[in-house]
Chains A and B, each alone.
Chain A
Amino acid sequence: MSEGPIIRLEGVDAGYPGALILENVSFSVARGEIFILLGGSGCGKSTIMKHMIGLNPVLSGKLEVAGLEWSERTRAELCRRIGVMYQSGALFGSMTCLENVLLPLEEFSPMKRAERVERARALLADVELEDAADKMPAEISGGMRKRVAIARAMALDPEVVFLDEPSAGLDPITSSALDDLVLRLRREKGTTFVVVTHELPSIFKIADRCAMFDKARRGMIALGTPAALRDGSDDEFVRRFFNRGEIHG
């Protein structure tokens, strides 16, 4: 495993063909780091994440994940090196929780069937959901679905896991429990997490560093630790964003 950053963006223009959303974005994510993409609604943080996970190609610039750029040639390898938890969980409704976690193992793992099932059960135990193994996604709560989705994202021991709005739609207690889970998985497995969120309590609890985006300026406006951004940023928008959080927090 190389020692360089797990993710590197250099002069990336983000968006869709005919719709530029963010210009000239550059940052890197170190291995084992919990890195937050934050900003107001519609600022492009999810768009940047979609570039990082290979769903959409960047408009221009260079984006590397684990030293590789997304292309048809590298897609298969990169897909095995990342895991993604979507905002809704995106569990397959026709499969049980266990089958959802088993799916990537069945497709890519050389393990025997019994070993794969054992591994999937262990992953569910990691997220404290071993009792939900045989339940359908519709039978469990939103927070549980997100934990199953994290277990599925971790199935192939990825180097980096992307979480899209993990706190969205969750009560503060469940959201905090999810943050604890992320911290524990990073501590136990050394996994890198890239998290899209604008939940300030969550950011202050788990983030090593944040990149903040602004819709009006179509770019990244701040990069640093949450405390540094809150206390030392020269940018008024950044200070307002974090101070509002302090007042309500």
Chain B
Amino acid sequence: MTLVASIGRGWLDGVAAARESLAVLGETVSEAAGMVLHPRRFRLGDCALAFQRAAFDGLPVSTGVGFLLGLVLAFQSAAALKTFGVESYVADLLAIGLFRELGPLVTAIILAGRSGSAFAAEIGTMKVDEELDALTTMGLPPVRFLVMPRTVAAIAAMPVLTIFVELAGLVGGSIVMRMMGVPTSVYWSKVAATSTVFMISFGLAKSALFGLLVGLVGCCAGMRTKSTADGVGVAATSAVVGGIVAIAVVDGLVAVICYFWGV
């Protein structure tokens, strides 16, 4: 009976969380539409600050992870491809892998960990301190003030970070390939030959979509924060977990759609 009750309670909590998130999403879409008509409503200063924290402050860790990712990928794939004597294809593998999939995916996971949790913690703390209530009673929608600038910042930051992650990954790969005797010029010319404008643009568009998910999930988690001792911590955790799950689900959907469209 206790097990059934806890499953039921968990289910109801999940439904309530989904309903609240949908309400925030609906309000965000409504506010975004309103801002098209009234662009001055957009809090550009708050957005710039959130962009600075998400993009510039996150650059060292993202670039570092991208570089190591390229190193590891190159080592692992070179070992396997060497068996067939085609280790020079590591450059192709890295370019396709990073531009289409790993660059956006890894960057989004980093952003969810750094900025998604930060969004949830900032908004959650504001909720506990009654600042969201203060905005509401001043007639200022919290979604416009808090969710919109952060979500737009996350959307804008993702392609910037993704480019750095991808370039750092390719640099990492080039070091490994040079160690394996492949001239750097050969490696980069193979990367250039493999990479297409469509492939790079596709990856960047996907990264912007992931940025939208990270921003929305992080802000929704903050808006749902409960006024308990562990409320903000729980919100930050659910922002990271929810963000990564949402990224994985959407990435899978995009992969399936691309497969059927032959992209």
Q: Which residues of A contact B (CB under 8 A)?
A: 53-55, 75-76, 79-80, 82, 84, 86-88, 90-94, 103-104, 107-108
| B13 at the binding interface (Cβ < 8 Å) | no
Stretch touching chain A among B3-11, B112-120, B136-144, B182-190 = B136-144
Contact B133 A86 (CB under 8 A): yes
A-B pairs with beta carbons under 8 Å apart, 27 shown? A53-B137, A55-B133, A55-B137, A75-B139, A76-B139, A84-B133, A84-B134, A84-B138, A86-B133, A86-B134, A87-B130, A88-B130, A90-B129, A90-B133, A90-B134, A91-B131, A92-B126, A92-B131, A92-B134, A93-B131, A103-B138, A103-B140, A104-B138, A104-B140, A107-B139, A107-B140, A108-B139
Q: How far is the CA of A103 from the CA of B139 in the complex (A)?
A: 11
Q: How far is the CA of A87 from the CA of B130 in the complex (A)?
A: 8
Across the A-B interface, the 5 shortest Cβ-Cβ residue pairs: A79-B139, A90-B134, A90-B130, A86-B130, A84-B137
B120-133 CB mask vs A (1 if < 8 Å, else 0) is: 00000010011101
Quick one: closest B residue to A86, CB to CB?
A: B130
Q: How far is the CA of A90 from the CA of B132 in the complex (A)?
A: 8
Nearest CB in chain A: distance from B141 CB, A: 10
A55 and B138 in contact, given A87-B130, A88-B130, A90-B131 (Cβ under 8 angstroms): no
Nearest CB in chain A: distance from B177 CB, A: 47
Nearest CB in chain A: distance from B157 CB, A: 19
Contact B129 A88 (CB under 8 A): yes
Classify chain B's interface size.
10 to 19
B129 — which chain A residues lie within 8 A by C-beta? 88, 90, 93
- 16 more A-B residue pairs beyond the given contacts A84-B133, A103-B138, with a C-beta to C-beta distance below 8 A: A55-B133, A55-B136, A75-B139, A76-B139, A79-B139, A84-B134, A84-B137, A86-B130, A88-B129, A88-B130, A90-B131, A91-B131, A92-B126, A92-B134, A104-B138, A107-B139
B49 — which chain A residues lie within 8 A by C-beta? 94
Quick one: closest A residue to B132, CB to CB?
A: A90
B46-90 CB mask vs A (1 if < 8 Å, else 0) is: 000100000000000000000000000000000000000000000
Nearest CB in chain B: distance from A51 CB, A: 12
A82 — which chain B residues lie within 8 A by C-beta? 137
B134 — which chain A residues lie within 8 A by C-beta? 84, 86, 90, 92
Q: How far is the CA of A55 from the CA of B134 in the complex (A)?
A: 10
A107 — which chain B residues lie within 8 A by C-beta? 138-140
Quick one: closest B residue to A53, CB to CB?
A: B137
Q: How far is the CA of A29 from the CA of B49 in the complex (A)?
A: 44
Quick one: closest B residue to A78, CB to CB?
A: B139
Q: How far is the CA of A53 from the CA of B49 in the complex (A)?
A: 31
Nearest CB in chain B: distance from A192 CB, A: 16
Q: How far is the CA of A108 from the CA of B137 in the complex (A)?
A: 13
Nearest CB in chain B: distance from A205 CB, A: 25
Q: How far is the CA of A92 from the CA of B131 in the complex (A)?
A: 7
Nearest CB in chain B: distance from A198 CB, A: 19
Q: How far is the CA of A90 from the CA of B133 in the complex (A)?
A: 8
B131 — which chain A residues lie within 8 A by C-beta? 90-93
Q: How far is the CA of A87 from the CA of B126 in the complex (A)?
A: 13
Q: How far is the CA of A55 from the CA of B137 in the complex (A)?
A: 7
Quick one: closest A residue to B46, CB to CB?
A: A94
Contact A54 B130 (CB under 8 A): no
Q: How far is the CA of A91 from the CA of B134 in the complex (A)?
A: 8
A91 — which chain B residues lie within 8 A by C-beta? 131
- Quick one: which of A84, A90, A93, A107 has the most chain B CB within 10 A? A90
Nearest CB in chain A: distance from B133 CB, A: 6
Q: How far is the CA of A32 from the CA of B253 in the complex (A)?
A: 61
A53 — which chain B residues lie within 8 A by C-beta? 137
B131-172 CB mask vs A (1 if < 8 Å, else 0) is: 101101111100000000000000000000000000000000
A80 and B137 in contact, given A90-B129, A90-B130 (Cβ under 8 angstroms): no
Q: How far is the CA of A44 from the CA of B126 in the complex (A)?
A: 23
